[in-house]
Amino acid sequence: MPVSRGGVAVLKRVFAAPDPGRTRLRFAARAVLGIGLAVVVCGLAGHSLVGAVTGGLAALLALFTVTDATVRGQALTTVLLPAVGLPVLAVAAGLHDHPVARDLTFLAVVGAGVYARRWGPRGHSLGVFAFMTFFVAQFVHATTEKLPELYAAVALSVLTAAAVRFGLWSYERRLPPAPVPAPPPGTGLARVTTRQAVQAATGAAFALVVGQLVSGQRWYWAVGATWWIFVNTASRGETLVRGFRRVLGTVIGIGLGLLVAVPVAGAALPTAVLLAVCVFGIFYTAAVSYTWMMLWVTLLAELLYGLLGVLNPGLLALRFAETGVGALGAVLAVLFVLPVTTHTTTHAWIQRALRCAHACTAEAAARLAGSPTADPAPRVAELEQLVARVRLSVAPLVHPLNPMLGRKRRARRVLALLDDCALEIRGLVAVAADPEASHDARLAAACRRVEKFRITLKDARDKAIADDDEVTLEYVKAMYSKFVSTWGVELQPGAEPHRLDAPDPLAGLRQPATSCHRAELPAPSPNGARTTSRTRTGSCASHTNSTILE
């Protein structure tokens, strides 16, 4: 029974997850169109099956990995992809018959690709493209004789993907920054990206050596598994959970492949249809479930091997073994090589989510006040991304295998609170966009009072905490508990705003905002009722470095 409930919960999270503006749906549909057109263009150019596969994967990466905050930034990053990928492809092809040099170069690309995350979304995208170009070269057994065709396939496919993304189907206008882990201050090994680059290279070295012992032909699968486990993670706990989910998604994908890919056996039309379904699944589920994304990635790889005529049950068993080797390499690296704990990253993501919630409220208030430029919709999309990133960061704490029950309960409370905030803010934005409901003067006044209180809180915090930039998470939690309990129902679309003109219900929180020496903070109980937390004594500064998740 628990397994059944868990399965239902996963399905609900994947298919019923919030999708503001149908962003994920459009993201996935555009990917199918862009990648499909890229493959067609390669076929019309006379490329072989290997060239078409290389081009299709290049288009997939161009559409999937480029996550700059603006359309202009995305266009520049897309232009730079071939500039990074083609030289890597040339090196990989040139070293095809020199295994030692090839392996050492591959590990260098792994380390450099992870280290590039220090330069934000663009560095992240270029690092992923560089790694995957080397990986694809192993997948198609690229040699120097094949380079002209592969160069043309990559260039044509990236160009086609760009034409779809920025011309034929350009739905972005203003985008929130993609939640790629921001590099914290520090130099050398004090910088998280540096530590993770060393970890990734070490884990990939283990995967490469052991993977070659398992298979001299498909060893690169193990390196790929290690690499993708490190992508978009920022702590030891995140990497461990991602490794578990990668193995789980691969196992399910292999089972599905036995039922679907093996019987199809590379037949052109059904394989093309199934590949389109896989591409859609990858892009649609990536933001909400890494396990589901890996399921589709595994099935896509199986279908491609079917097209190449080498798919069989033994190959699927080998993929499982190589994935396990790669996951083990990642786990050993994050546990024993310069480990990065979850504390700093988790706290930072929660603070970013709360600041974004503030910004959503401010934009909605400006929209209700008649500002022609106010648009809270992009902020809501950003909030969804940040809440998802918080969920990823605390995933190790809420995992069923986590033995620390106290931290698990507190982490679940924070996630529930942030989900409630996102729900209420979506309702607020929907009301603000409604031409009839948004005319209610009481709603605009309520938004102004919430925003005024936020400013009061910030000023009080700055005076109380002086040089420290963070508010104690427990206090912020209490403030948002009050916010949700007070405004939650009334800000839902279509609800009667019968309490919006009541006296300011947040006034009771001004005392803890202006005096941190002794305060009784309301905290939510599991059933939603408010209780009083323990009395906290001492200055705010003494609690600033604490977190509810510790």
Which tens digits make up the pLDDT trace of 10-40? 555 666 677 777 888 999 999 999 999 999 9
Establish if 549 belongs to a structural domain. no
Same domain? 26 vs 129: yes
Classify residue 394 by burial, with Cβ atoms within 10 Å: 0-12, 13-18, 19+: buried
Q: What's the pLDDT tens digit per position in 409-442? A: 777 777 777 777 777 777 777 777 776 655 666 6
Q: Which two tokens stand for residue 550?
A: 């510790």
The overall average pLDDT reported for the chain is: 77
**Helices 268-285 and 23-44 sit at what angle, rounded to 10 degrees?**
140
- Measure the CA–CA gap between 6 and 476, rounded to whole angstroms: 31
Three-class secondary structure of residue 70 per DSSP: strand
Q: Which residue has the tokens 């991304």?
A: 385
Average pLDDT of 343-357? 75
Of 405, 410, 397, nearest in space to 237 by CA: 397
Same domain, 284 and 409: no
Same domain (yes/no): 350, 469 = yes
Q: Are 450 and 361 in contact (CB under 8 A)?
A: yes
Residue finishing a domain among 321, 339, 357: 339
Measured CA to CA, the distance from residue 497 to residue 440 in angstroms comes to 9
* pLDDT recorded at residue 284: 93
Helices (H), 308-404: 313-336, 343-368, 377-398
Examine the domain organization and report whether 173 and 153 are in the same domain.
Answer: yes
Which helix or strand (DSSP H or E) is residue 519 part of? strand 518-519
For tokens 């941190």, name the residue: 516
Measured N-to-C along each axis, helices 290-307 and 49-64 cross at an angle, to the nearest 10 degrees, of: 160
- What region, left, alpha or beta, does residue 55 occupy, with left being phi > 0 and alpha being psi -120 to 50 degrees? alpha
Establish if 188 belongs to a structural domain: no
* Residue 180: both structure tokens together: 């790629």
Domain-located, residue 392? yes
Mean pLDDT of 289-295: 91
**Least confident stretch, 98-102, 211-215, 511-515:** 511-515
Please check whether residue 294 is in contact with residue 249, taking contact to mean a CB–CB distance below 8 angstroms: yes
Residues in the chain: 550
- Check if the beta carbon of residue 125 is closer than 8 Å to that of residue 29: no
Tell me the C-alpha distance between 479 and 475, whole Å.
6
Q: Report residue 352's pLDDT band, with 50, 70 and 90 as the boundaries.
A: confident
Q: Are 316 and 254 in contact (CB under 8 A)?
A: yes
Which bin fits 173, alpha (ψ -120 to 50), beta or left (φ > 0)? alpha
The residue from 311, 339, 367 where one domain ends is: 339
| Residues linked to residue 524 through DSSP beta bridges, in sequence order | 530
Q: Which of the four pLDDT bands, split at 50, 70 and 90, describes residue 50? A: very high
Looking at the structure of the chain, the number of domains it has is 3
Looking at the structure, tell me whether residues 236 and 288 fall in a common domain: yes
Do 46 and 112 lie in a common domain?
Answer: yes
- pTM of the predicted model, to two decimals? 0.71
Q: What percentage of the chain reaches a pLDDT higher than 70?
A: 70
What pLDDT does residue 307 have?
A: 92
- What are the distances in angstroms from CA 364 to CA 351, 367, 419, 461? 20, 5, 18, 24
Q: Are residues 524 and 460 in the same domain?
A: yes
Write the DSSP assignment of 7-31 as a string of letters: HHHHHHHHHSS--GGGHHHHHHHHH
Residue 271 belongs to what domain range?
193-339
Closest CA to 107 of 209, 257, 176: 209
What is the token pair recorded at 397? 């704490």
How far is Cα 305 from Cα 264, in angstroms, rounded to an integer?
11
Point out which residues pair with 523 in neighbouring strands: 531
Neighbours of 32 (CB within 10 A): 19
| Domain endpoint, select from 141, 158, 182 | 182
Q: Which amino acid is at 550?
A: E
Beta bridge mates, 518? 537
281 shares a domain with 135: no
Residue whose tokens read 């702590």: 235
- Whether residue 515 has pLDDT greater than 70: no
116 and 63, same structural domain? yes
Same domain, 329 and 357: no
Task: List Cβ neighbours of 163 (8 Å cut-off, separation of 6 or more).
Answer: none
- Give buried/exposed letters for 490-507 (b at 16+ CB in 10 A, else e): bbbeeeebeebeeeebbe
pLDDT at 5: 53
Residues 48 and 161 in one domain: yes
CB proximity list for 545: less than 8 A, separation 6 or greater: none
- 362 and 498 share one domain: yes
Q: What is the pLDDT of residues 526-540, one digit of tens each?
A: 333 333 333 333 333
Task: Flag whether 16 is in a domain.
Answer: no
Opening angle at CA 35, ends 308 and 300, nearest 5: 45
Please give the average per-residue pLDDT across 498-522, as a whole number: 38
Query: Which pLDDT score is estimated for 28?
Result: 94
